[in-house]
Amino acid sequence: MFRTVETISAYYANPQRFMRLAGALHAPLWGVTILVFAVALYMVAHVPDDYQQGATVRIMFVHVPAAWMSLFAYSFIFFASVTALIFRHPVGHVAGRAAAPIGAVFTLIALMTGSLWGQPMWGTWWVWDARLTSVLVLLFIYLGYMALWQAIDDHGQAARSTAILAIVGSINVPIVKFSVDWWNTLHQPASVSRFARPALHADFLYPLLMMALAFTLLFFALTLTRMQMEILRQRARARQMARLNEADD
């Protein structure tokens, strides 16, 4: 199993081969994403109002998947960075760079929708609660990662430095979570983590899971598109440099 994964991953370390795969996957992936999104939105539109929260409960169908995706995208960047550093996998670096702004936007959406929900429910836009704080710190980690990519001119060096930062950050995320939990807690505990008997009624659970699937597909579709763009950009740059060198000779 591991051998197969390794072989496949090594095969696509060649950006040329990866681009062929991405080209073939591109249209079907976007098609499925749009379809699942349509179904999920339809399901969410037909969710009954919550007896306590009213229609405000619908914010949760954006908030919860976005919050999941903020962590999922970071894990993706972490695995891409580890692969890129250990196996010297150039597409891994591209994947990390492509996923970062998407993860950051998901994090921002989670924070903003949470704020919109908190205003009527808790009576305030923002509280310094453990979860909110740790998600805010996660946003800063994303911003640091993106800023480092932007600041280093040399592509190879930027790729390796940001990969190291992503790994350091992934050790940091659980520590931040643990320390802010100790510091202050108000947010309700996760209600879907208990898979055997979720605390959520089925009327809410299935639309939520469908939205989560739609968000995950959207993440992969956007990441794939951005990876293609990044590889094309690198090629254009390489050609430009080659042309400049010719002009010099």
Binding site for other proteins (CB under 8 A): 137, 140-141, 143-144, 147-148, 151-152, 154, 157, 160-161, 164-165, 167-169, 171-172, 175-176, 178-180, 182-183
- Shortest Å distance, C-beta 211 to other proteins: 28
Residue 47: φ, ψ to 5°: -75, 135
Residue whose CB is less far from other proteins, 42 or 128: 128
Residue whose CB is less far from other proteins, 144 or 198: 144
Residue whose CB is less far from other proteins, 78 or 220: 78
- Shortest Å distance, C-beta 183 to other proteins: 5
Structure token digits, residue 161? 């430095």
Q: Which residues pair with 19 in a beta bridge?
A: none
- Shortest Å distance, C-beta 83 to other proteins: 16
State the DSSP code for 197: S
Residues 6+ apart with CB under 8 A from 167: 78, 81, 82, 85
Q: Which residues pair with 215 in a beta bridge?
A: none
- Nearest one of 113, 166, 119 to 135, comparing CA atoms: 113
- Shortest Å distance, C-beta 140 to other proteins: 5
Could you give the CA distance from residue 135 to residue 107 in angstroms, rounded to a whole number?
Answer: 7
Residue 156: C-alpha distances to residues 18, 44, 85, 94 (Å): 19, 45, 11, 11
Residue whose CB is less far from other proteins, 134 or 223: 134
Which residue has 């976007």 as its token pair?
A: 30
Residue whose CB is less far from other proteins, 33 or 162: 162
- Shortest Å distance, C-beta 134 to other proteins: 9
Residue whose CB is less far from other proteins, 69 or 165: 165
- Shortest Å distance, C-beta 185 to other proteins: 13
